[in-house]
Amino acid sequence: MPLALLALAVGAFGLGTTEFVMMGLLPDVADDLHLSLPTAGHLVSAYALGVVIGAPLLAAVTTRMSRRTVLMSLMGLFVAGNALSALAPGYDSLLAARFLSGLPHGAFFGMGAVVATSLVAPERKARSVSLMFLGLTVANIAGVPVATLMGQHLGWRATFLGVSAIGVAAIVSLALLIPRDHTHPTPATGLRGELAALRSLPVWLALGTTIAGFGALFSAYSYITPMLTDSAGYADSSVTLLLALFGVGATIGNLLGGRLADHAMRGTLFAGLTSLAAVLALFPLLMQSTWSAALAVVLLGVAAFVAGSPLQMMVMEKAAAGPSLASSANQAAFNLANAGGAWIGGLALAAGFGVTSPAVAGAGLAVLGLGVAGVAYAVDVRRAPSAGRERVVAVSTPGRAGSEAEAEAEAEAEALR
């Protein structure tokens, strides 16, 4: 694997740290700015809103730019947003700075995935994406706990200055390690080509699978703390360590999913969603003791992130003519899953079904994701015969190379896998 993937992982580490660290800093920020906790919670939502808006918008306006330049510019915006968060004099300015920090998140992961796959052989594309996402999962193991401790001992402003420094390191890494000859858009891209790719039904089915599948994760994960304390009996002080265990599971699942998806992308996706549904359905049982609850947290991370790389690859392959915008839109879909999953889990709690009921609701969302993925597969199978007829016509055309037709056949077979 090329060393350039390390630069992408450093950027992902910074993005993952700043996205999740606010949860741990909310009490400190609320006390310092004289806010209620619910009001301070809007700072989390502001970042997510920035991701949803920024992912497709920034991907669309940068379609003709060098991808290397785009990645460095996005990290520059990330540094600015976090520096402004550290210097924010009040709540309104901090809210705006958090929104600004979220704008480059989805576009960076979307463009980064396109660049990562361009750096490796076709049989290693999913693995390259998983190595970029490794920065995000490691952020949950090390970045978020360390940044939270920094905020508690040095002040929450110091945390955002530290995250800005990570962003600067990412810019330097991108400048040194991303090769120029892999960063320019192909002739098929451009805003018109990118938008045309989004008109494809398989692309929207892939995005729907992301929303339902990862909505299942966030339905449970958003309420994992009360499950661990009220049901499993853990002390509040143990929750940080248990969340780090989730990061360990996510890292294992991410690396495993990338490796398996290079051999069978569709099979890995189905296996991941099926495992996620099973783990979530067992949560009420697993949360009855401390050891099984810890196991459940790890298994949740593994099952959810096994499906991460296949979902990203499926969107990119279905939008092969303009993958940058679709890839970034998939990051917006992840954040819609975050918000939607938390909302559905909250409905289960509000209905009085018990503290582990959000996990059961998540199991239902995972089954829904499987259903959408099944529909996507059926659409591919139905379209395959017509694609085959077009290939036969192409082969019979004078001057058409047989090797080119064979390459198209192989690409279609890979897409169906």
Other beta carbons within 10 Å of 162: 21
Other beta carbons within 10 Å of 241: 11
End-to-end CA distance of the chain: 23
Per the CB < 8 A criterion, the answer to whether 8 and 115 are in contact is: yes
Cα 184 from chain centre? 24
Instruction: State pTM to two decimals.
Output: 0.76
Q: What is the pLDDT of residues 340-397, one digit of tens each?
A: 888 888 888 888 898 899 999 999 999 999 999 999 888 888 876 655 444 444 444 4
Instruction: Report the amino acid identity of residue 87.
Output: L
Q: CA 57, CA 130: separation in Å to the nearest integer?
A: 24
- Give the mean model confidence (pLDDT) for residues 213-226: 86
Q: Nearest-CA neighbor of 328 among 106, 52, 143? A: 106
Q: What is the pLDDT of residues 119-141, one digit of tens each?
A: 888 888 888 888 888 888 888 78
Per the CB < 8 A criterion, the answer to whether 91 and 31 are in contact is: no
DSSP string, 209-259: HHHHHHHHHHHHHTTHHHIIIIIS---GGGHHHHHHHHHHHHHHHHHHHHH
Q: Which domains does the chain have, with CATH numbers?
A: 1-185 (1.20.1250.20), 190-417 (1.20.1250.20)
For 389, 394, 397, 408, the CA distances from 405, given in Å and listed in that order, are 12, 7, 11, 5
- Give the mean model confidence (pLDDT) for residues 14-28: 81
Cα 16 from chain centre? 9
- Give the mean model confidence (pLDDT) for residues 190-219: 80
Per the CB < 8 A criterion, the answer to whether 155 and 330 are in contact is: no
